[in-house]
Amino acid sequence: MAVSKNQPPPEPAPSAVPFETSLTELEAVVRDLESGDLPLERAIQLFERGMTLSQLCRQQLEDAETRVEVLVRRGNQVRPEPQG
Structural domain boundaries enclosing 58: 18-72
Q: Is the dihedral of CA 12, 13, 14, 15 positive or negative?
A: negative
Query: Within a domain: residue 3?
Result: no
pLDDT band for position 84 (50/70/90)? low
Query: Which pTM was predicted?
Result: 0.68
Query: Within a domain: residue 61?
Result: yes
Task: State how far the Cα of 76 lies from the Cα of 45, in Å rounded to an integer.
Answer: 48
Query: Within a domain: residue 25?
Result: yes
Spell 20-32 as b/e; 16+ CB within 10 A means b: eebbebbeebeeb
Task: State how far the Cα of 29 lies from the Cα of 45, in Å rounded to an integer.
Answer: 10
Query: Within a domain: residue 8?
Result: no
Q: What is the CATH number of the domain that holds 53?
A: 1.10.287.1040
Query: Within a domain: residue 35?
Result: yes
Query: Within a domain: residue 79?
Result: no
> What's the structural domain count of the chain?
1
pLDDT in tens, 3-45: 344 565 555 555 678 999 999 999 999 999 999 899 999 999 9
